[in-house]
Amino acid sequence: MNLDPISILSQTALLLALAPLITGCIRNWKARLQNRRGPRVWQPYFDLLKFLRKDMVISEHASWVFSAAPYVVFITALLVGLMVPMVTTQAPLSLFGGVLAVVGLLALGRFFLALGGLDPGSAFGGMGSSREMTIAAIAEPALMLALFTVAITVGSTDFSYIVTAAQQPGWNLFNPTHLMAFAALFVVLLAETGRVPIDNPATHLELTMIHEAMLLEYSGRYLALMEWGASIKQLVLMAILVNIFLPVGLATDGSAAMLGLGLLIFLGKILLLSAAVVLVETVNAKLRLFRVPDLLSAAFVLAAMALLSTFLFK
């Protein structure tokens, strides 16, 4: 357990480079499933570049909190990304935190995101913040319980340790505990990344948007940081899902061949999960806000059942 500057830098680069692509893929595939041509897969990169080059308009009512929020959102997403193993079994920043720090840092980003939504004084932002915090509040127990179930079976809250344990022979990929925990986490993933049926990332209709409502007053490079941070967060949550529950093909040492193969397999797994998200988004309609708690409590119950099943399937 040491800090390795090279792996920190390379994983940071991977996060920064890959995250917009995943967002682009999801948008493009979703459009195709809906018989539209859709934006190119690379479009998010151009969007980010465009936002970075634009002037900013900042609300006259906003305070310094509004300006601080994009930095916090962006940096917490990066930090979280370094605590989760992606291509190798060893996450570069495992020493600095595991499951609990990841959940905490995501909450810190969300905290500032919601404050940034409230700051300009528009009712949209307030509505988005209120809903975001509500949904996060009911998603977090399910997230924690599902992760605890895995952490308990392994005996560690350290993601690297969990993933390494999953490499050992005798790790049962399809045991019911893992399947139920996976299902719970998948629902949480949809909630945390603002996907249908919880939120609709493609809408700017007042009454339905949550995440977009908080970003409404952001422009220019602040918007770029916010969007980039959101895609990194999405990538990280997906990485948690695929690497914990499908821990195949992770590089166990630093050789180039291993790393190359690991990267390819990681990409494949993430794209597979993205396809699943696209399918869910396409065949479902957005839920009414007050139906969302039902879905999330179902996720919590699944996680609780996963925990109970550790008694039955040793």
Partner 1 sequence: MEFTPGNLLTVTFATYAIGAVAGLCCLRHERPANLLTFGLATLASACGLLAGVLCLAYSPAFGTVRMQLLPTLIPYLSFSIRVDALSAFFLVVVSAVALAISIYSLGYMRGFYGRKSVGLLGAFYNVMLLATTLVFLADNAFFFLMVWEIMELTAYCLVSFEHEQAETRRAGVLFFVMSHIGTGCIMLGFLMLFQAYGHATGDYGSAAYSFDNFHALGDRMSSGSRDAAFLLFLAGFGIKSGIVPLHTWLPAAHPVAPSNVSAFLSGVLIKTGIYGMARVFFDFLPGTAGPPMWWGVTVLSIGTISAVLGVLYALMQHDLKRLLAYHSIENIGIILMGFGAALMFLHTGHPVLASLALIAGLYHTINHAIFKALLFLGAGAVLHATHTRDMEHMGGLAKRMPQTAFFFLVGAVAISALPPLNGFVSEWLTYQSLLQGYGTTDSLLRLMFPIGGALLALTGALAAACFVKAFGITFLAQPRSEHAAQANEAPSTMLLGQGLLVAACVFLGLFPTQFLKLLDPLTQSLTGLQISGQLTVANGLVLSGVNPNGGTVSTLGIAVLGLCFLSLPFLLRLVFARGTNVRIGPTWDCGLQGLTPRMEYTATGFSKPIRMIFKALFRPRREVQREYDFSPYFTNTIRFEAHVEEVFETRIYRPLNRWVLWASRRMRALQAGSIQAYLIYIFITLLLLLLFAL
Residues 6+ apart with CB under 8 A from 50: none
Return d(Cα 140, Cα 79) in angstroms, integer.
19
Q: Choose between 93 and 277: whose C-beta lies nearer to partner 1.
A: 93
Burial class of residue 256 (count of CB atoms within 10 Å of its CB; 0-12, 13-18, 19+): exposed
Q: Choose between 17 and 95: whose C-beta lies nearer to partner 1.
A: 95
Return d(Cα 94, Cα 145) in angstroms, integer.
20
Distance in Å, CB of 148 to partner 1, minimum: 5
Distance in Å, CB of 137 to partner 1, minimum: 4
Residue 205 near partner 1 by CB under 8 A: no
Residues contacting partner 1: total by CB under 8 A: 90
Contacts to partner 1 from residues 217-256, by CB under 8 A: 217, 220-221, 224-225
Which structure tokens are listed for 163?
Answer: 């993933």
Beta bridge partners of 251: 88
Residue 208 near partner 1 by CB under 8 A: no
Contact characters 86-115, partner 1, x per CB under 8 A: -------xxxxxxxxx-xxx-xx-xx--xx
Contacts to partner 1 from residues 113-142, by CB under 8 A: 114-115, 118-127, 129-131, 133-134, 136-142
Contacts to partner 1 from residues 256-285, by CB under 8 A: none
Distance in Å, CB of 52 to partner 1, minimum: 4
**How many CB atoms neighbour CB 210 within 10 A?**
24
Return d(Cα 113, Cα 191) in angstroms, integer.
16
Q: Choose between 128 and 262: whose C-beta lies nearer to partner 1.
A: 128
> Helices 64-83 & 5-33, crossing angle to 10 degrees?
100
Distance in Å, CB of 299 to partner 1, minimum: 11
Return d(Cα 37, Cα 73) in angstroms, integer.
31
Distance in Å, CB of 246 to partner 1, minimum: 22
Residues 6+ apart with CB under 8 A from 9: none
Return d(Cα 215, Cα 113) in angstroms, integer.
8
Q: Choose between 120 and 197: whose C-beta lies nearer to partner 1.
A: 120
Residue 148 near partner 1 by CB under 8 A: yes
Return d(Cα 125, Cα 119) in angstroms, integer.
8
Q: Choose between 206 and 279: whose C-beta lies nearer to partner 1.
A: 206
Residues 6+ apart with CB under 8 A from 197: 190, 280, 284, 285, 286, 287, 292, 295
Q: Which of 75, 261, 275, 305 binds partner 1 (CB under 8 A)?
A: 75
Contacts to partner 1 from residues 30-69, by CB under 8 A: 49, 52-61, 63-65
Distance in Å, CB of 285 to partner 1, minimum: 20
Q: Which of 7, 88, 149, 231 binds partner 1 (CB under 8 A)?
A: 149
Q: Choose between 100 and 280: whose C-beta lies nearer to partner 1.
A: 100
Q: Which of 188, 250, 251, 307 binds partner 1 (CB under 8 A)?
A: 307
Q: Which of 28, 44, 84, 161 binds partner 1 (CB under 8 A)?
A: 161
Phi, psi of 88 (to 5 degrees): -105, 165
